[in-house]
Structure 1
Amino acid sequence: MAFCSRQGAAVLSPLFAAMAFSFHSSTAHSAGYSIHENSASYMGTAFAGKASNPQDASIAANNPAGIAFVEGTQISVGSAVIFEGGEFEGKHTIPVGGNDVIAQGKTKDFQSTTWVPFGHFVIPVNEQLSFGLSGYGPYGIELDYDKNWAGRYFGNKTSVKTINLQGTVSYKFQEDFSVGFGLIGSYVKGELTQKSSAMNLPPNIADINAKVDGDAETLGWTVGALWKVRERTYLGLAYFSQLDFKLKGDVTADGALNIPNPITGKIAQVPVNEKTKGKLDITMPEKAALSLTHNLNDQWALMAEATWTRWSRFEEFYVRADDPNLSSYVPIKWKDVWAWSFGASWQVMPEWQLRAGYMFDQSPVDDKNRTARTPDADRNWFTLGANWKPDPKFSIDLSYAYVKLKEGKISETKHDIPTNGGAVIPSYGTLTGEYNNSSHIVAAQLNYIF
């Protein structure tokens, strides 16, 4: 294809750079492990209209049909920055002669400052057929608690980073209606760490650092439709398939067991240094979005969006190690959720457009199934944004979001692995406390029409 000679090389170089960097930087500040931040322009309206408003090339990651309505050959690249946040206060107790406290206190900023880059490229072949290429992070989480926090025997670091490379094709059957399909190649890398015990012994006699890491790749797909109902009204529908990952990697444990002598009472340290292979299956769920954009006039536009995500597919963190003593199991049991968003834009003058939005992002987590690795809760998004277009071919989007999570309680226990029945291990104790999380996010995006 001729466009890949000079023009394509110039366009694809920064796009691939953004995609490569996004793997190293993905995190989540959306409900569950979802990442909304694949566009700074849509973040300004709290992602309302992201599947129905073909304002730039980033619609490719939200509705593949939308690229048929994008103006010309276009590239959109940028990044969001999620600033550090998160607060927990609580304690870990074990039933030894009453409720003995292993650790207690407050920890902050376990969600570190993180970059979330993205890149999108769209090229029309003719008036009906268009192609696109996108790189973005659809799911992920990055938690890194203080080394000695109260819940260190339930989780220290939880890192799940995912990148999607999506090729898209869209076809206009009529001037006002298009359909699109995208093939997705997805890669995930995961790492879990925590303090641990061995053979289900109580934590107060263990000083072991456990680590699980691995990676995997899989294929997925997306399909969508965009209908220009009237001259000023667009209706979009998009569906994204589930992503089934089978991670393979290493499980390690090193440290010591502190075994008291029953006669002398002295502590004898028994070294632990184990490494084995293991696997972890993770399913990132399918989701569907219904989106509406209505231009009231040449200055004002309103957007609304509803997104359903089937988080009930995410049932467990079950690390199956070749050595069963190094296997671990955390039941998740999430529920299906909805996100509802509303936004508006105002074309103040030809060079400037202002945006604002609100989203209620329902969480698959509640007080009954919250864990140290999934400290999620229902959240409210409040967003502002602006687009500056100093030239007909060039524009810049800037957006800001304040995300406030509902306060959430935790009462987590340790479970035996399913092959042993999966029952709670009382001697391991209980982590109790409360999360109070919020975050600030900024995003920037450059758009260029060739």
Structure 2
Amino acid sequence: MGKCVAIAVLALMLAGQQVQAAGFAIYDWSARGVAMGGATMAGKPDASVVASNPAAMTGLNGTQVMSGLSAVAPMVTVSIAGKESSDAESNVWMLPHAYAVKQLGERYWLGIGVFNRFGLGTEFDENWPGAGSVYYAAIKSVSLTPVLGMRLTDNWSIGLGAEANYFDFTQKKKVGGAYDVKVQGDDVGVGVNLSTWYAPTDWLSLGLMYRSSIDVHPRGEADSNLPSYLGGDKLNGDADGEITLPDSWSLGLCITPSDRLSLEFDATRTGWSSYKELDIRINGVNPSGVAVKDWKDAWRLGIGAEYALTPSWDLRAGYVYDETPVRTERADYMVPANDRQLFSTGLGWHDASWSVDLGYTYLLILDRKGAEVYVNGGVDSADFEDGDAHLLSMSVAYRF
């Protein structure tokens, strides 16, 4: 079990874990979760509850392991007033996940997960009209989460966990119209999570989870080909910054009207208001000045359904409304997004030991008109249009 998790950690570190997200949060933690719009924290558990609600591990028997991969292909068009519209580069980003859960007795369960909670991937042609702000931005974030589940009564459990979050930030933009500057830095931050799972009846169960904020201070290097006589020396050297990854509250309610059908409603409130500014310093000084973000707290609301077609096959579907934390008057080419709607479906097969799940999501980003983007002391008026993404996920699990 430990070897599987170690391999998964290595794969996550090497993969490009960037996607378009509301803000830059990620909820694609298993193929079953993808198929159900992420609404998996209160209902029938599998090993991926290490990520969605560790308290629900107490509904599992023996030892269970799961690993899988999601592929995300996003697209968006940006139109800057008076300039030609530009399409984002076509990329496919990979999001691996891996979990292991072991029952330690009648009251205790131990789990560990490696997955992505934050990520961002935005890439345009390096000469697009907004290149003075950014033409490439990437956040690679990997969470390693050990968790403990405890059964307090026959129908009430709690979960406690820690999170080590590896955070890597890269940004590329143009300076002086023709020269490049690249800033890259990374760090590891630590947070905690608390959760509970309560099933008062056979047809109703509830889940609640809190994730703390995590402070990270990426440190690395800045590199520019701007000549020294134009000030290039100020754009080369040590780089550092700081950001608070937001805390969040998640609540899930699952109703099982029959043995074959379950319906779950989930809501997550994320404290994006902690992201007030982006301050990237080079040799102790920010040459471009502090970028004010002033994001707002945001909701993610989802519903998922699972229906047992046969004793071995399950059909799933989901819908999510994901609110953006980015204000129209503080828009950002690095996060060219708006409120999102997600439409999901999927299929699962299982026997006594194995399960294989497939999930698909079409993500629709709502258009944003007249956004204000602050660039080098000026303001662009921009429209974000035709944003969408396709997400395909597969997970394989084994129980023993």
Normalised TM-score (structure 2) = 0.94
User: In the aligned structure 1, how far is the partner of 2:148 from the partner of 2:358?
Assistant: 28
> 1:34 is matched with which residue?
25
User: In the aligned structure 2, how far is the partner of 1:401 from the partner of 1:301?
Assistant: 20
> 2:225 is matched with which residue?
254
Say how many residue pairs are matched: 397
Kindly tell me: are residues 339 and 433 of structure 1, through their superposed partners in 2, closer, same or farther at Cα, counting changes over 3 Å? closer
SS at match of 1:27: coil
- What aligned pairs does 1:280-295 form with structure 2 within 5 A after superposition? 280-295=241-256
Kindly tell me: are residues 270 and 321 of structure 1, through their superposed partners in 2, closer, same or farther at Cα, counting changes over 3 Å? closer
> 2:49 is matched with which residue?
59
**1:207–1:256 CA contact under 8 A, matched in 2:** no
- The one-letter code sitting in structure 1 at the alignment partner of 2:25 is S
Query: Which stretch shows the higher mean deviation, 223-232 or 245-254?
Result: 245-254
Kindly tell me: are residues 360 and 111 of structure 1, through their superposed partners in 2, closer, same or farther at Cα, counting changes over 3 Å? farther
Kindly tell me: are residues 253 and 131 of structure 1, through their superposed partners in 2, closer, same or farther at Cα, counting changes over 3 Å? same
Aligned CA RMSD, in angstroms, stands at 1.9
- 1:271, distance to aligned residue in structure 2 (A): 8.2
**1:408–1:436 CA contact under 8 A, matched in 2:** no
**1:53–1:59 CA contact under 8 A, matched in 2:** no
- What are the ranges of 5 or more consecutive residues in structure 1 without an aligned counterpart? 1-10, 92-100, 198-205, 258-268, 416-424
- 1:375, distance to aligned residue in structure 2 (A): 1.1
- What aligned pairs does 1:86-125 form with structure 2 within 5 A after superposition? 86-91=76-81, 104-110=83-89, 112-125=91-104
- The one-letter code sitting in structure 2 at the alignment partner of 1:305 is D
**1:375–1:435 CA contact under 8 A, matched in 2:** no
**1:54–1:70 CA contact under 8 A, matched in 2:** no
- The one-letter code sitting in structure 2 at the alignment partner of 1:46 is G
SS at match of 1:349: coil
Q: Give CA deviations for 1:16-45 in whole Å, capped at 9, x if unaligned.
A: 222222233212333111000111111111
**2:152 is the counterpart of 1:162:** no
> 1:131 is matched with which residue?
110
Alignment partner for residue 446 of structure 1, among 388, 396, 399? Answer: 396
Q: Is the radius of gyration larger for structure 1 or structure 2?
A: 1
- 1:87, distance to aligned residue in structure 2 (A): 1.8
User: In the aligned structure 1, how far is the partner of 2:373 from the partner of 2:169?
Assistant: 22
**2:122 is the counterpart of 1:143:** yes
User: In the aligned structure 1, how far is the partner of 2:311 from the partner of 2:260?
Assistant: 10
User: In the aligned structure 2, how far is the partner of 1:45 from the partner of 1:51?
Assistant: 11
SS at match of 2:26: coil
> 1:77 is matched with which residue?
67
SS at match of 1:77: strand
Q: Give CA deviations for 1:244-285 in whole Å, capped at 9, x if unaligned.
A: 10111112221359xxxxxxxxxxx95845512121101110
User: In the aligned structure 2, how far is the partner of 1:25 from the partner of 1:179?
Assistant: 34
Q: Give CA deviations for 1:346-390 in whole Å, capped at 9, x if unaligned.
A: 10101100001111001101321111112121000100011111x
User: In the aligned structure 1, how far is the partner of 2:168 from the partner of 2:90?
Assistant: 18
Query: Which stretch shows the higher mean deviation, 227-236 or 13-22?
Result: 13-22
**2:19–2:74 CA contact under 8 A, matched in 1:** no
SS at match of 2:50: helix
- The one-letter code sitting in structure 1 at the alignment partner of 2:382 is T
> 1:329 is matched with which residue?
290
SS at match of 1:141: strand
User: In the aligned structure 1, how far is the partner of 2:243 from the partner of 2:28?
Assistant: 21
Query: Which stretch shows the higher mean deviation, 243-252 or 132-141?
Result: 243-252
Q: Give CA deviations for 1:117-146 in whole Å, capped at 9, x if unaligned.
A: 010100000011000010011011011111
Kindly tell me: are residues 435 and 317 of structure 1, through their superposed partners in 2, closer, same or farther at Cα, counting changes over 3 Å? farther
- What are the ranges of 5 or more consecutive residues in structure 2 without an aligned counterpart? none
- 1:431, distance to aligned residue in structure 2 (A): 5.4
- 1:294, distance to aligned residue in structure 2 (A): 1.5
**2:385 is the counterpart of 1:435:** yes
User: In the aligned structure 2, how far is the partner of 1:54 from the partner of 1:182?
Assistant: 20
- The one-letter code sitting in structure 1 at the alignment partner of 2:242 is D
- 1:286, distance to aligned residue in structure 2 (A): 0.3
- 1:107, distance to aligned residue in structure 2 (A): 2.3
Alignment partner for residue 173 of structure 2, among 189, 194, 199? Answer: 194
User: In the aligned structure 1, how far is the partner of 2:293 from the partner of 2:51?
Assistant: 28
- 1:328, distance to aligned residue in structure 2 (A): 4.1
Alignment partner for residue 320 of structure 2, among 311, 334, 359? Answer: 359
- 1:194, distance to aligned residue in structure 2 (A): 0.1
- The one-letter code sitting in structure 2 at the alignment partner of 1:438 is D
Alignment partner for residue 236 of structure 2, among 275, 282, 295? Answer: 275
Alignment partner for residue 198 of structure 2, among 219, 227, 243? Answer: 227
- What aligned pairs does 1:261-410 form with structure 2 within 5 A after superposition? 272=232, 274-322=235-283, 324=285, 326-389=287-350, 391-409=351-369, 410=371
SS at match of 1:368: helix
Q: Give CA deviations for 1:127-175 in whole Å, capped at 9, x if unaligned.
A: 1100001001101101111111110001011111111100010110111
SS at match of 1:121: strand
**1:306–1:341 CA contact under 8 A, matched in 2:** yes
> 1:47 is matched with which residue?
38
